[in-house]
Amino acid sequence: MGRAGGDRAAVLDTSEAAALARAYEAIGLGCFWTTDADGRVTYMSPSAQAALGGDDGAVGRPLLDLFLRPDGEGERTLPFVMARKGRFERVLVRSERDGKTRWWSLAGEPRQAGRGFTGFLGHCEDVTEERLSAEESSHQALHDPLTGLLNRRHMSQLLDKTLTGFAVQQRSCAIMLIDLDRFKQVNDTMGHAAGDALLKQVADRMVRVIGDKERVSRLGGDEFQIILPDEDDRGVLGDIATALITSISQPYTIEGSRCMIGASVGVAISPYDGDDKDSLVRNADLALYAAKGGGRGRFRFFAPDLLKAAEDRRLLEEDLHDALEKGEIEVHYQPVVKAQTNVVTGVEALVRWNHPEHGMISPARFIPIAEESNLIKVIGEWVLRQACADAAAWPGNLRVAVNVSPVQFADESFPAIVASALASTGLDPDRLELEITEGVFLQEGCTTDARFNALKGLGVRLALDDFGTGYSSLAYLKTAPFDKIKIDQSFVRGATGADSRNRAIIAAIVALADALGMDTTAEGIESFDQFELMKQLKVTLVQGFIYSRPIPNAAFVDNIANGEWVIEPAGPARQRHERFAMFRRVGVVHDNHYYPVVLRNLSATGALIEGLVDVPVGTDFVLDLGDGQLCVCKVRRSRKSQQGLEFETMLVSDGNGGLCTRARVSPYQLAAAGVPQSVRGDGPHLIGRSEDGKVSMPMFGMSSDWKSRLDAA
């Protein structure tokens, strides 16, 4: 009896089932639909029909026509399952009406009759909110909540997937690591809310440069990473890195205050610098470290010697701590000359480190180390006092210019240090010129203004150094009491070119300085065409190799013994690409043979090699600079064992003051061609056969001393 009653309770008659279905539809829990054997709708709940069918309704139309064509992996199943005429559950589809997209979950049960399949009985449910919530959760899991960029996890997955696929296809992929310079100072002085607002603006600028938000990630803090698939042209990558640095270095307005930061960039390219995620990221990080160590605000490509360079840097830092005490730090002086008369009016004091083992070490190497190790204040004060003492003993009234780092300028005791140096040496304050870079203008405020006022109160002169390189603003000249603008040598280089805009920029700087009653100094003048252009543009003073290199104090005193020094300019007639002198073993390929040679100098357009004899002018070579860098070139000069080479394609900047090829040949291709991995000192190497299959013999002899030179390289 109980079971019979239970069975009757579990069964609904037709009217009850229909009523239940209508109640289910009315409550909004879901909708029902039916089709005929051809897939045309024969019934659809009113609410679904209004959302999907519109004014024309849904009945009589193919069910598939009510939804968008599938373009995602999960959507492709609806046409397939309906064609199978079998049961299906939870198939996700999309519809669009009045510009609004909705998501639906469909399920269907086939109807069978005596003649076979007659259509579907189905259910659908609007799952738009559920879908959007899932997408938002997925986005939050893979994106940085502050900037909206990819997060570290997502970028790691993307990079791993890209490199794995590209390795099979032998495609390249570059990554950039970006670290913000001086971001911590903004956080410390303006607060974390301002720091967060700044990071959002930085992210927007990066995306504008790259053009694709899904290639840029924030790894955390002020570290960012960019992935650039199918890009191995180091000229293009250098341009992108420069554009990033330039964009990020422009002023920001945060909560009504103005602030400035910079950026350093490290670049690594697969497969040359690593064929897996971990090695590529590690090497990009080494390149970033080298960029920051080179002075910040620059980019650097990874090179195998960076590992050794990092160790050398550590050892230099140890030695630098004792350099002052051991008397290894020196001050040299480069004349600043009045362009129209060739009369020396002053000098710039330049610090030099005479290392007992390595000789003279470039300031470009040890000044960044001094800044990071907090030695810059000690070294800077010593240079200031030494320069004042030397200048006080010179005959006449020549001025001495001393560079001031942003770290020194930020020290509240700096004006007192300057006053002490003047008092102890007796130097007239008007003869001391402090060269201050635009990096001191991290943000506007009373502290910076007070420092300027204190220094001007001492009677010293102030020069704005490296004007136009990264942080320029006319507001500096309006508020800061400068006496001189120094035009950076980056504007001088290339100014004589026919299509260069540098000429107009220099002219504008000179006009601005004249209007404000300031002098102008052009740095880095080396050739007569540069020199004549500076005079033509009415630049007041000139500094550069065309007059003199920096010289020790004793040599300078000898030249001004009579109280005046007139220097006749001397140098090349025209600016040429900078040549880097070196003594390095490389190789050249000719006529299926690989010859070890010594590279004596290198420029963007050519090189000088040594080691071969009897090489005719016009001979074609391929110069192997190592690390897959091959340059097609032609012999333009040949004298004894030296050959001057002209490159078919110019080299590009490596981001560290050196040069590199735009593209590289993969190690796999080099191995297949038989090019040696390293240059050995045992003569030329056969690397192939001529077209007729015959082995060619070496065409050129080797100079008698090539082996000893190579062994020493």
Whether residues 499 and 627 share a domain: the answer is no
Last residue of a domain, one of 304, 332, 349: 304
196: in domain = yes
Residues 126, 67: Cα–Cα separation, whole Å: 13
**Residues 152 and 112 placed together within one structural domain of the fold:** no
Q: What CATH number does the domain containing 522 carry?
A: 3.20.20.450
Task: Tell me, yes or no, whether 298 and 396 share the same domain.
Answer: no
Grade residue 706 by pLDDT with cuts at 50, 70 and 90.
Answer: very low
Establish if 9 belongs to a structural domain: no
**What is the count of structural domains for the chain?**
4
3-state secondary structure of 62: strand
Highest mean pLDDT among 393-407, 444-458, 578-592: 393-407
pLDDT at 587: 87
pLDDT tens-digit map of 661-672:
888 877 656 666
96 and 26 in one domain?
A: yes
Tell whether the model's pLDDT for residue 434 goes beyond 60. yes
Domain boundary among 304, 325, 359: 304
The residue whose two tokens read 């201050």 is: 436
| CATH code of the domain covering residue 676 | 2.40.10
What's the average model confidence in pLDDT over 503-528? 89
Degrees (nearest 5) of the Cα angle 157, 159, 164? Answer: 95
Do 406 and 498 sit in the same domain of this protein? Answer: yes
Give me the percent of the chain exceeding a pLDDT of 90. 38
- First and final CA of the chain: distance in angstroms? 106
pLDDT, position 498: 67
Half-sphere exposure of 397 (CA within 13 A, CB side): 4
Identify whether 569 is part of a domain.
Answer: no
**Which CATH number is 268's domain given?**
3.30.70.270
Q: CA 267 to CA 286: how far, in whole Å?
A: 9
What per-residue confidence (pLDDT) applies to 285? 93
d(CA 428, CA 461): 11
Tell me, what's the pLDDT at 3? 45
User: Distance between CA 391 and CA 354 in Å, rounded?
Assistant: 22
- What is the β-pairing status of strands 88-97 and 399-404? unpaired
State whether 120 and 154 are in the same domain. no
- Burial code of 14-46, b = ≥16 C-beta within 10 A, e = fewer? eeeeeeeeeeebeeeebbbbbbeeebbbeebbe
- Please indicate, yes or no, whether residues 496 and 349 belong to a single structural domain of this protein: yes
Domain that holds residue 261: 143-304
Radius of gyration of the chain (CA): 36
- Identify whether 63 is part of a domain: yes
Look at residue 445 and tell me if it is in a domain.
yes
Listed residues 111, 133, 155: the one ending a domain:
133
Whether residue 574 lies inside any domain: the answer is no
Average pLDDT, the chain: 83
Q: Which domain CATH number covers 51?
A: 3.30.450.20
Beta bridge pairs of residue 218: 224
The reply to whether 376 and 294 lie within a common domain is no
Maximum Cα–Cα distance across the chain:
133
Contacts of 32 (CB under 8 A, 6+ apart): 21, 25, 43, 44, 45, 121, 122, 123, 124
Q: What is the pTM of this model?
A: 0.58
Residue 3 CB partners (closer than 8 Å, separation 6+)? none
Tell whether 426 and 538 lie within a shared domain.
yes
Lowest-confidence segment of 152-156, 426-430, 625-629 by average pLDDT: 625-629
479 shares a domain with 345: yes
3-state secondary structure (DSSP) of residue 128: helix
The confidence band for 4, taking pLDDT boundaries of 50, 70 and 90, is: very low
Q: Which residue shows structure tokens 């064609």? A: 83
Cβ atoms 90, 97 nearer than 8 A? no
Region 652-660: mean pLDDT is 77
Same domain, 624 and 524: no
215 or 562: which leads in pLDDT:
215
Q: What is the pLDDT of residue 127?
A: 87
Pairing, β 257-259 against β 580-590? unpaired
**pLDDT tens figures, 588-645:** 888 778 888 899 899 888 999 998 888 899 999 999 888 888 899 999 999 888 999 9
Instruction: Give tens-digit pLDDT for 331-352.
Output: 999 999 998 999 999 999 999 9
Half-sphere exposure of 320 (CA within 13 A, CB side): 27
Question: Does 354 map to a domain?
Answer: yes
Looking at the domain assignment, is residue 309 inside a domain? no
Residues 118 and 155 in one domain: no
Arithmetic mean of pLDDT, 356-370: 84
Burial class (CB in 10 A: 0-12, 13-18, 19+), 301: buried
